[in-house]
Structure 1
């Protein structure tokens, strides 16, 4: 119903509002517009042969080969595109709606690896994916390359990350430079599919993302994550020191704020070098608006807690480090980071860095998780390395040299190790930030050694040397 209103000679045609007029209530006014917008955003996409996969708590690398392996069990996969702007997400295009539906029902809420890499699957809006190049983040399995069909698996590309997409055997280690497995697939699964897996993404204090119940008792999609340069192979219950995803950041998140850095000395590698002693470092980002401040994403909240426990209020040069939880759940990738004082980028991704020290159970068990001290343990240096060579490294990086160096008797011709004593704890911390993972040339070696440093529990270098010898002797007797 409408009626005319005359106002100063201008006639308006006005529609009368009624209480039953839902279109008027929803479609007019700021609140109505917002309600309509929220309604549209909350509506799920209709069934489609393209799926949107969101990976929560992506502790291990997610590549097209990983996704192809878990998806190809449910139908023919045509294309995969992974994007990491806001966490880790991917779109997988199947050959039919039936295949996509099977995959969605079987994989939604499942863990790719035990206790992490949890999938949330929705129907995507695009009906076809555009793949511009074939690499670890995108792949078109329908086109040919070098005259060979990609679908037959014999296309001349490097060995896939998972050699056999069916579940049988155990995965072998791979090197991150090549991102491939040498052999094997994964153990077989019990019959009956994946069942109804529960999914928990609670905020502060909430449980981690994991599978519960289900037809297979909550078995992860992949028994073992990649080893050596991947993110390791955990034992039962997941990687040592890895906490499940605690959604929403806050006191249970895996991102921390680091204040008190020297803007004229420290870069992303400096931050990585000290934080990697307490957990796997995923990403480091310096803030342009707050000089000397960085955000660090670790692999889990436990690692952040270790960093706070051991590094908060530690003196470094003229500053004190302040370390605290961030409210952010994760660090997004920065495509154009601003340059730091040394022209290195202010953002760096370390998730694939082989110098992370908690990549598998065996490696994690060897770590010396200690608070900062004047005594440092060094290892992986050239055999028969000289004191002068070690001092030259610290001189090159413009940090204080150790006041004392003690080499352990070498029982291997492959490398050497020992203890370093600095005048103060602040100098020792600065030395780790600058020289951890520094290259050390060895006589007669083709490639330099990567010197690794960590804090020692020894109070002085003499007692530390004796403790090391006793520990090595006891380990030798245990292995006999």
Structure 2
């Protein structure tokens, strides 16, 4: 191993990893002074400000496997003690005015006009030529010439590593060896911006013919093989990336153009073309399938395009089917020749990606134990469904439910192989007079909280990882200690009873007094925020002074709040500082959330009382579900429960407000037996890669989560969803600084996308009393009651946290009431 150095050598740096990704990985350990990307070797060299910073980084990543965009990267000290490379932006090739731009990511053709606009931030290009590169360099390339060298330098500095579209088509820009571009035609492949009078094509030569360097025409059928198939594919790569939450799944490059797959190690006695269609159509449209008669365990499958073929390879390689482990690879054949031994599916109405392609991409996953059945007859019963599928394996759990007026079902098998067999055999089969559709579900468990779900046998399902196997070592001892503390009081894990239900039946809210109090506290909160920000900046600037451990959170919060206000994204109540911010498009984010499969299945949804989640509360009640909402700041009590029978069409809108929840809802105490299927939580900022979340800083969401854990209402498998604006997505929440009680999110819904974070951050296991300050405890009566009960019944005194100054919004007086 090399001796300690300021320079860190990073390996396995894929093309999807940007400079910003590496900076994010190492910035928590100190200042990074230089970074060199060695793209040809999939490596990078990174120089820290000093040797101790580099040592701290490597010590941390010795115990924690560093991962970027789903790819493991490997770090070690470099043999170089210092990087001495010059800044190539301005020095190495600064005399050039031509750029070679390679667009990596999802393979989507950007024409010369689009490419030129992408590369001209305030500087007009003179010429642009776009061309498709060969197989040695995947993707598309373009040559762009600027009028001055400085313009080219500025363009590269501004755009290197940026995306043409949100989440995809990352630019890799280098200076070209060419001194001058020769452009003869103004069309989709070349353009002279100084001469708009050039012809669009050469006389007698169609633009569909091969162009530069005998590369096939970009829009010819030969250029993309099966891309010429008439499927209404997604309009552009941005939509594909958006379907996957703003970026492609780990391991998917999006640059593949081969559409035909070779599937081997099949069971020839049980496989046929239709069963292969049922399986592979989960990942894209199928053109045709051919079983190889000379190799009975081999088959060719031609997908609708290269991206869909790549998804199938990624998700199905190694899957078990009929006792065999599938091998799925790209074929050397560009397509399958039509013939008597091929089955055509190009016009099949069972292809899933002709409509709602974005939604179908979102649900792509590897085979799971759980399958989802749709288009069921309205009068179907669970017994009929079980009888239809029982021959394929052991069914351990089922749930029949209704979503948007249509019957659907979830069936859990004992193994992935059994579920896969049921899918390939019974998809598109007839049941009760309807042709049913089957797909894999990403859910891990079926919650036993209603009569519509039943557990077959005595088996306990879907126990999630308790967090001990996660890669996060920071706060690990603290986490383990609190696990032990919780085990000291096992009787309280699932059976906590309070002597009081904190009800307000005899009173009602004085809404005008409440609004006046809110405005007063808003002004006080803004003043406090300015003071807190000033203190943070002064502490950061003063060398040698220890930073407030929570200062970084306030920096991120203030940045998001300020941006939302300055860009007029914020909605009333304003200003959004010291709030879960309401935003433009909150209703659209709520609509995306309501279309989640887990929301459709849920019978009871816990939703925070903040303004941006008002539409989520409305949709929960409108869909006939039970709504569980905390009484604001847990001040007047605990939770309120509402269902559709407790409100009328004229009062449902008011019932969805923070005031209306307490007004119309039924207050509950700790003795309530309730099972929560889904948690919807508000956020100020959230990281889509890790699921790390920041609230407004008062900690009530964490307390509410901990109380529900104590009641046994939720567990690790209960999904946590947040609805936010796209501008609230951040990438600088350092996971190593998160505390054990911070609640991560599993799914993020914005007005434009749904993101599955696949978070590995452990979820809190209860209330961590040693983190709860006397001031916060003094504000929340039900917590004081709970703590006293535990101490009385165990004879042990629970710890208390350090004293703190509560933010202004937590110092609210008792809410104004008036007598009925």
TM-score calculated relative to the size of structure 1:
0.45
| Structure with higher helix content | 2
Larger relative contact order (C-alpha < 8 A, sep ≥ 6)?
A: 1
Normalised by the length of structure 2, the TM-score is: 0.28
